[in-house]
Structures are given as structure tokens and as C-alpha cells.
């Protein structure tokens, strides 16, 4: 034997006595999931509690909901924490919703839409004249445009959308159905690109709440209306919490009236004949100047009734 001391090796513990490392590591994904779910819930709750004219937590949430720098701060406010269905931009106390991209176009042509929304009832109450020029703002695939086209055989429908892909689909359906009195118009987020004083009626079906620049867009729409021309908004009822539509994709009657008043339109009537949606009808005052879209009370946009955070 060597004179060197022998190295003493510790006896290995049996496998059953080792620490259950796999159990400890398996807890991390659960922790991550709970943190993710908790953050999502907190964001949604903060967005709900801190928005709207009667928000119950505005004083407490004011530091979180403080405006950040953005364009046209006289009209819009911006939030760093907001509803995940919104863009973090508010107009007159309402957070603007994300718009539906062209990949969601199938929703516009869903088979049960005829039953859910009953578009024929809507078109009937519009009382269109055969020679009317109608603007379908946010026309999408042309679901409403084609239905109105048959009501104005001597007039036309201007199908406006800001997505070229939507207009391409609309033109495809138009060719299949051989409808000639529908013209597509590519709009901008802040301008419908319609000629002044040419439109008898502008229709917005579940579209206005998604306008990224609602004030500027409505200015362009008002300019396009003839004297006494009508603007009709169809929106899911924001007063109905049980309606299975995301909160930011609904509007209350009162909110719509405030925002339309802010661009110089006059409320005429609200019809509640559809299963889930308001029909709000406004008109352009007869004395409105052709080169101005708002009256003197709206010269400073958003200051009439702007609900600042």
C-alpha cells in the first residue's frame, strides 16, 4: 500500500432520499401563468374603472392613467395603461377601440348576421330616395353597400374604407353580383376623401367607435354632406352590460350625441328597432357653410365637453 492517505468517498444517498428537483422546477410555469393572468386582469380592471365620464376610480388611478405625449393633444388624450381592446387614445372620455383588420372580414359576412342585426329593418327606416348619393363609411366587404345600392338605382353608393384589402374584396363581390352603382373610395384614418356637398346620407354601421381620428374623420364626413344631409350611426348598445360584445365596441346613446354635437351635427331621432343596436340619426344644419364642418361652438375641438383624465 502507498503511504498516502486514502481518499474517503461519501456514500451516495439512495435515489428515494434525493430532493425532488422536478417538483420544484415544475412550479415555475404555473407561477408564470398566474402572473400573466393577474397582469391581464389588472389591465382590464384599470381600463374599466378609469374610463368613462362616471369612472369610479379616476382619483385613485390618475397617476397610472396620466396622459403621455401624442399628436393633437387639444382633441385627444393618451394613456400608458389602458384597455387591451383599445389603442390607449381617448376622445371626449371614450377610449378608441382597435379596428378590425381585413383578416377578420369573414365576421362581416357571417351567415347569422341577417338574423342578429336585421339589416333590412335598418335600410327601410333610412327612407332612401332613388336618386340619393349614399356614403357607406367603413364599408368593409360591402355588406351594407350592396343592400343600399338596390334602393338608389338612379343614384350611387360610395363605399369608403381605409384598408385596400377590404375594397379589393368588395370589388370582387361587386363583380360577381354585377352591381354597377357602387364606387369604392380609399379613405385615410383622418379623412374619408369624399367630395364636399355631394352626399345625401352617410351611414356608419359598427364603425365609428373604431375611428382612430374621430374628430377629423367626422369633419370630412360633415363637409361631404349636402345641406340637410343626414349622418346615421349604428352602434351596439353600450348601456347593455349583458350584450356579448366587447366594451369598447359598444357606445351609449349619450356618448354618440356628445361627439356628433362636437362636429356641428344636430340630433334628429334615435330608433330602437334593432335587436342589439342603436340607430342614431343626425343632420347637417341647413345654414352650415359649405367650407366649414363645425359651428362656432366647436371651433376649439374637444373643449366643449372634453372629459379630461
| Per-residue pLDDT tens digits for 57-83 | 444 444 444 444 445 568 999 988 899
256 and 271 share one domain: yes
User: Which pLDDT score, from 0 to 100, does residue 308 have?
Assistant: 40
**Who wins on pLDDT, 45 or 94?**
94
pLDDT of residue 33: 66
Same domain, 121 and 85: no
pLDDT tens figures, 266-292: 999 999 999 999 999 999 998 654 444
| Whether residues 45 and 182 fall in one domain | no
> Quick one: average pLDDT of 86-95?
96
Residue 292 lies inside a defined structural domain of this protein: yes
Q: Look at the chain and report how many structural domains it folds into.
A: 2
Which region among 113-127, 148-162, 180-194 has the lowest average model confidence (pLDDT)? 113-127
Q: Does residue 1 fall inside a structural domain?
A: no
Whether residue 183 is contained in a domain is answered as: yes
**Average pLDDT of the residues in 193-215:** 97
Looking at 42, 75, 97, which one is the last position of a domain?
97
| Residue 20 resides in a domain | no
d(CA 67, CA 50): 13
DSSP state of 74: T
Whole-number pLDDT of residue 14: 52
Residue 46 has pLDDT above 70, yes or no: no
In this structure, the answer to whether residues 144 and 124 fall within a common structural domain is: yes
Confidence of residue 298 (pLDDT cuts 50, 70, 90): very low
Domain of 188: which CATH number?
Answer: 3.40.50.150
Mean pLDDT of 215-226: 98
Same domain? For 209 and 146 the reply is yes
Judged against a pLDDT cut of 90, whether residue 142 lies above it is answered with yes
DSSP string covering 259-302? HHHTTT-EEEEEE--SSSEEEEEEE--TT--TT-SS-GGGSSTT
Q: Are residues 80 and 114 in the same domain?
A: no
pLDDT of residue 149 exceeding 70, the answer is yes
148 shares its domain with 281: yes
| pLDDT, tens only, 20-39 | 444 444 445 666 667 666 76
pLDDT at site 116: 84
75 and 109 within one domain: no
Residue 41: pLDDT band with limits 50, 70, 90: low
Which of 116-120, 177-181, 208-212 is least confident? 116-120
Question: How many angstroms separate the CA atoms of 225 and 201, rounded?
Answer: 7
Per-residue pLDDT band at 99 (split at 50, 70, 90): confident
Same domain assignment for residues 38 and 186? no
Total-model pTM: 0.71
| Cα–Cα separations (whole angstroms), residue 218 to 24, 99, 100, 149, 281 | 58, 16, 19, 23, 14
Q: What is the pLDDT of residue 23?
A: 45
Give yes or no for residue 115 having a pLDDT over 90: no
In a domain, 286, yes or no: yes
Greater confidence (16 vs 285) lies with 285
pLDDT computed for residue 18 by the predictor: 47
Q: Are residues 116 and 244 in the same domain?
A: yes
Rounded CA-CA distance 28/33 in Å is: 9
CA angle at 95 for the pair 220 and 142, rounded to the nearest 5°:
50
From 97, 112, 144, the end of a domain falls on: 97
Question: For the residues 136-141, what does the mean pLDDT come to?
Answer: 96
Q: Confirm whether 12 is domain-assigned.
A: no
How far is residue 94's CA from residue 248's CA, in Å, rounded to a whole number?
A: 8
Residue finishing a domain among 54, 82, 97: 97
> Domain span at residue 261?
102-298
Same structural domain for residues 93 and 106?
A: no
CA atoms within 13 A on the CB side of 286: 0
Same domain, 288 and 195: yes
The residues that bridge with 249 in the sheet, in sequence order, are none
Amino acid at each position: 500500500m502507498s503511504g498516502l492517505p486514502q481518499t474517503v468517498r461519501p456514500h451516495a444517498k439512495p435515489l428515494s432520499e434525493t430532493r425532488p428537483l422536478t417538483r420544484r422546477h415544475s412550479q415555475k410555469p404555473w407561477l408564470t401563468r398566474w402572473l400573466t393572468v393577474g397582469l391581464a386582469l389588472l389591465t382590464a380592471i384599470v381600463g374599466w374603472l378609469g374610463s368613462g365620464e362616471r369612472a369610479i376610480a379616476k382619483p385613485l388611478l390618475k397617476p397610472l392613467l396620466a396622459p403621455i405625449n401624442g399628436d393633437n393633444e387639444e382633441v385627444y388624450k393618451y394613456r400608458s395603461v389602458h384597455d387591451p381592446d383599445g389603442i390607449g387614445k381617448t376622445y371626449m372620455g371614450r377610449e378608441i377601440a382597435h379596428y378590425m383588420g381585413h383578416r377578420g372580414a369573414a365576421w362581416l359576412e357571417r351567415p347569422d348576421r341577417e338574423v342578429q342585426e336585421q339589416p333590412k329593418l335598418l335600410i327601410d327606416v333610412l327612407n332612401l330616395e332613388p336618386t340619393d348619393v349614399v356614403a357607406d363609411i367603413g364599408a368593409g366587404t360591402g355588406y351594407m353597400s350592396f343592400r343600399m345600392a338596390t334602393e338608389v338605382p338612379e343614384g350611387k353608393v360610395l363605399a369608403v374604407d381605409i384598408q385596400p384589402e377590404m375594397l379589393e374584396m368588395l370589388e370582387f363581390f361587386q363583380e360577381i353580383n354585377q352591381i354597377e352603382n357602387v364606387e369604392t373610395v380609399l379613405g385615410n384614418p383622418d379623412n374619408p376623401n369624399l367630395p364636399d356637398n355631394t352626399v345625401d346620407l352617410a351611414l356608419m354601421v359598427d364603425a365609428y367607435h373604431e375611428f382612430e381620428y374621430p374628430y377629423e374623420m367626422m369633419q370630412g364626413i360633415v363637409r361631404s354632406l349636402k345641406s340637410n344631409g343626414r349622418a346615421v350611426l349604428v352602434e351596439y348598445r353600450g348601456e347593455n352590460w349583458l350584450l356579448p360584445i366587447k366594451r369598447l365596441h359598444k357606445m351609449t346613446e349619450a356618448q354618440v350625441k356628445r361627439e356628433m354635437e362636437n362636429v356641428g351635427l344636430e340630433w334628429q331621432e334615435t330608433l330602437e328597432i334593432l335587436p342589439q343596436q342603436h340607430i342614431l340619426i343626425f343632420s347637417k344644419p341647413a345654414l352650415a357653410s359649405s367650407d366649414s364642418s363645425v359651428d362656432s361652438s366647436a371651433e376649439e375641438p374637444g373643449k366643449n365637453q372634453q372629459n379630461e383624465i
